[in-house]
Structure 1
Amino acid sequence: MPTAIATDSARLPSPQGWPLLRLGFRPFYLGAAAYGMLAIPLWIAVLLGQVSLNLTLSPVLWHAHEMLFGFAVAVIVGFLLTAGKAWTGLETPRGAVLAALAGLWLAARLAAVFAPYGVYALLDLLLLPLVAGIFIALLLRAGGGRNLPLGFILVLLTLANAVFHGAVSGLIDVDPVRALHAGLAMIVMIECVIAVRVIPAFTQSALPGMRLKVPPVLEQATLGTTAIALALWVLAPAHVFGAVALGAAALLHVLRLLRWKPLRTRSRPILWVLHLAYAWLPIGLALLALSQLGVVGVSSGIHALAVGATGGLILGMITRTARGHTGRPLQASRLETAAYLLVACAAVARVLLPLLAPQHLVIWLVAAATAWGFAFALYLMVFSPWLVTARLDGKDG
């Protein structure tokens, strides 16, 4: 036995380079969490007139764009550059190349405040096509056609970002808000594709004996209907057809979630956070359906998808995957559980409470921003030391 263990250890590649730059999740999760912690409280301070930023575009557009193409995209890039290695067995960017990609992301965030708009737009437009090219080339080399739709969505996300900057610059006669809606729609589709692969798998691996199976026809109907509904929301004027499509997509997501048996995960925070966050997808789609009929404002549906679904799924994924890829137990600590609850409270304060008591909107906004900021502060407290140091098990990555 000692000889076999020594032989197996000798076969493992020795870790090389600074740990922070060994795998994509490390710098991008760290940057996204820090940006999420700072950007939302800063936005509320700007909105309430407490802080003034030297922005070259309107504060509302800056806030919406940066939470999509700054915060959320950083997590998507970190996840795909990490998962791509696991899916294909091929190396993904590390070392100097990974540092350049992370540096480009950071430079764009800083340029939004400290540089002319043209510089900001140029820096911001470079990252996504580079990552899309790297990811698609990786899949093609490995014959990983199953994951190519994610590469296609990255291309569409790149196009939405280009349309946004073109519209703001006056080069394209399009409302930049519509481009932001398209960006949110692409991010939601990425969540829909990844969720069906990871949430049931994580649930089954953590709960022995559980077998989760969703009929393929339900999966195809859910993804197809969601794509059509979001396309109608982005590209067509508000209409009853759009409301029906969004409502149908919401119902299908409820059926999909029920197949995953979310109540069975209530004793495992690292699992229930993903199920709870996913539940905001049908809520957001249903609110968008109601907004098509003029029942509620579109902001409610947008923030249900952005804060509840995207924020919750991001926090759940960057804890679970970071634990796994740093060689730590897949068991959330009390601080991580507190962070999960804080993001859930932020979603309730930003989406549901304004619908119930709109006269207290400022209070709800401040409460949501505070809960969100503390959630990602807790993540940084726990994970920052882990993301900049080597894996516990001595493996590379």
Structure 2
Amino acid sequence: MGNVGLSHFWDAPYRPLFLAAALWALVSIAWWPLGVSLGLPKPGFTPLVLWHVHELIFGFFSVAIAGYVLTALPHWVCRPPEHGRILKVLVAFWVLSRLSMAMADRVPPLLLLSINSLFFVLLAALILYRTLSGRAFSKALFGVVVVMLGLADIIFLKVAKAGDVSGSLEIAHACLIGMALLVTVVGARLVPAFTESWRQHSGRSAGHAPASQLRAAAISAQILSLMAILMGWSDLAHAALVLSASLLCLVMARWQSLSTLANPLVAGLHFAFFWLPVGLALKGGLWLLSASYPLADAIHALTIGAISGLIMAISGRAACHGSGPQLQAIPSLSLAMALIWIATCLRLMAPLAAGYGTEVETAAATFWCAAWLSFLFGFRLALKEPTRRPVLSGKKPTPRDPERKRTA
């Protein structure tokens, strides 16, 4: 198929929103810590660690979630995808938020809060209107999640502007558990579903039956942890995280993850999800055991490995449509997912590299940027080709698939 013009860029939400997420993942880390260490001006929000935390949670993660939900909406409500002006306004609000945070020291606090609320208000209104009017009531919970994320952003900024750094970081940690919960809810269904589809397309034997009860228990443990954090019951919160991590390990044990190495696109989902129980176990276990390993470093198993890795592995599928019914991994996406894995390992090794911690952190940031550069190179295919449905998966396998007949 031939290329489409720039006017078609706004025909589907995954194009501008996933592109914005990938660009900001690259730019934010390339700016701080890498760029600032080389002499670039600092972002106008102090301390810089709070800008870093804010932009990855409320900038990168939020626009990635917007891309996923708005891409899935047509299937949920049986309507055409959002396009055109509404997407332009949504992206404009998101860009305005990033600019306001970059020069937050020059923006009045009330204006800063207002600007950063615009994206969440419009996104939540759009999701709630479409899901409720389409009677997809269970999916309306995504709109509630966006509302809660917007409220958390306001509270984070108010506390940070008041000079309470530790309070801001506590809010960020609560948001991180909420993000892990959302990733668990989506990923624990999506990863085995895509895996089973690949197995059926390629004529492989079916995997184990979904561990729905274990998955529900793992999600319940994370909900308990989030509630305990909000109530100030830290020991219970972190014990629940360890329990959830253990349950997720049992869930993953049924996925036969090593068998997916034959398909990098599917394997990338499994290897990214792997960091979720690891990250939850580290965050919960290190709090309870008071180990010498810094908790602030351990959370990168969640942020870089699990959350960012799954965002990359899922959004990158939009660029993997080929001539057949099954999605095919492109080399640049496979490389990007491998680089994210390396970046995660390096970042977790930094506290253990006596005397070279800063250098290892810099290496991790460099691999992160290289990963998103590689991703962006491959994602250009999703911007050039006409929109395909479904966007993030191939056609459902049928008994008449020639490939299945040949391999059965």
Question: Which band: TM-score by shorter chain?
Answer: 0.7 to 0.9
How far 1:287 sits from its partner (Å)?
A: 0.8
Task: Please point out which of 97, 102, 105 is paired with 1:113.
Answer: 102
Q: Does 1:87 align with 2:76?
A: yes
Alignment deviations for residues 287-339 of structure 1 (CA, whole Å, 9 cap, x no partner): 11223131132213321110000111011011114435999961112221111
Task: Please point out which of 312, 320, 329 is paired with 1:323.
Answer: 320
How far 1:92 sits from its partner (Å)?
A: 4.0
* AA of the residue aligned to 2:359: I
Tell me if structure 2 keeps the 8 A contact 1:287–1:300.
no
1:261/1:349 Cα in 2 relative to 1: closer, same or farther (>3 Å)? same
Q: Distance in 2 between matches of 1:390 and 1:374?
A: 27
**Relative to structure 2, which stretch is displaced further, 307-316 or 29-38?**
29-38
Who is 1:390 aligned against? 386
Tell me if structure 2 keeps the 8 A contact 1:323–1:329.
no
Who is 1:291 aligned against? 286
How far 1:109 sits from its partner (Å)?
A: 1.1
Who is 1:276 aligned against? 271
Task: Please point out which of 153, 159, 162 is paired with 2:151.
Answer: 159
**Relative to structure 2, which stretch is displaced further, 24-33 or 133-142?**
133-142
Task: Please point out which of 199, 207, 213 is paired with 1:207.
Answer: 199
Q: Distance in 2 between matches of 1:184 and 1:235?
A: 16
1:76/1:305 Cα in 2 relative to 1: closer, same or farther (>3 Å)? same
SS in 1 for 2:355: helix
Task: Please point out which of 96, 110, 116 is paired with 1:124.
Answer: 116
Who is 2:9 aligned against? 20
Percent of matched pairs sharing the same residue: 27
Q: Does 1:263 align with 2:258?
A: yes
How far 1:385 sits from its partner (Å)?
A: 4.7
How far 1:268 sits from its partner (Å)?
A: 0.8
Tell me if structure 1 keeps the 8 A contact 2:131–2:139.
yes
Who is 1:229 aligned against? 225
SS in 2 for 1:55: coil
Who is 1:314 aligned against? 311
Q: Distance in 1 between matches of 2:294 and 2:309?
A: 22
1:47/1:143 Cα in 2 relative to 1: closer, same or farther (>3 Å)? same
How far 1:204 sits from its partner (Å)?
A: 0.7
SS in 2 for 1:380: helix
* AA of the residue aligned to 2:30: P
Q: Distance in 2 between matches of 1:199 and 1:134?
A: 27
Tell me if structure 2 keeps the 8 A contact 1:325–1:391.
no
SS in 1 for 2:170: helix
SS in 2 for 1:122: helix
Who is 1:372 aligned against? 368
How far 1:16 sits from its partner (Å)?
A: 11
Tell me if structure 2 keeps the 8 A contact 1:56–1:112.
yes
How far 1:20 sits from its partner (Å)?
A: 1.2
Alignment deviations for residues 184-226 of structure 1 (CA, whole Å, 9 cap, x no partner): 2222121111112311111011112424422432122111001
1:78/1:102 Cα in 2 relative to 1: closer, same or farther (>3 Å)? same
How far 1:75 sits from its partner (Å)?
A: 0.8
Length-normalised TM-score, structure 1 = 0.87
SS in 2 for 1:266: helix
Who is 1:68 aligned against? 57
Gapped runs of 5+ residues in structure 2?
A: 392-408
Who is 2:377 aligned against? 381
How far 1:346 sits from its partner (Å)?
A: 0.4
**Relative to structure 2, which stretch is displaced further, 18-27 or 316-325?**
316-325
How far 1:354 sits from its partner (Å)?
A: 2.3
Who is 2:212 aligned against? 216
Who is 1:254 aligned against? 249
Task: Please point out which of 22, 32, 37 is paired with 1:33.
Answer: 22
1:172/1:128 Cα in 2 relative to 1: closer, same or farther (>3 Å)? farther
SS in 1 for 2:327: coil
Tell me if structure 1 keeps the 8 A contact 2:45–2:103.
no
1:260/1:220 Cα in 2 relative to 1: closer, same or farther (>3 Å)? same
1:344/1:186 Cα in 2 relative to 1: closer, same or farther (>3 Å)? same
Who is 2:170 aligned against? 178
Who is 1:98 aligned against? 87
Q: Distance in 2 between matches of 1:338 and 1:173?
A: 37
1:92/1:121 Cα in 2 relative to 1: closer, same or farther (>3 Å)? farther
How far 1:102 sits from its partner (Å)?
A: 0.8
* AA of the residue aligned to 1:275: H
Q: Distance in 2 between matches of 1:255 and 1:211?
A: 15
**Relative to structure 2, which stretch is displaced further, 354-363 or 249-258?**
354-363
**Aligned residues between the structures:** 378
Tell me if structure 2 keeps the 8 A contact 1:28–1:78.
yes
Q: Distance in 2 between matches of 1:169 and 1:156?
A: 20
How far 1:38 sits from its partner (Å)?
A: 1.8
* AA of the residue aligned to 1:135: I
Task: Please point out which of 353, 357, 362 is paired with 1:357.
Answer: 353
How far 1:81 sits from its partner (Å)?
A: 0.7
SS in 2 for 1:71: helix
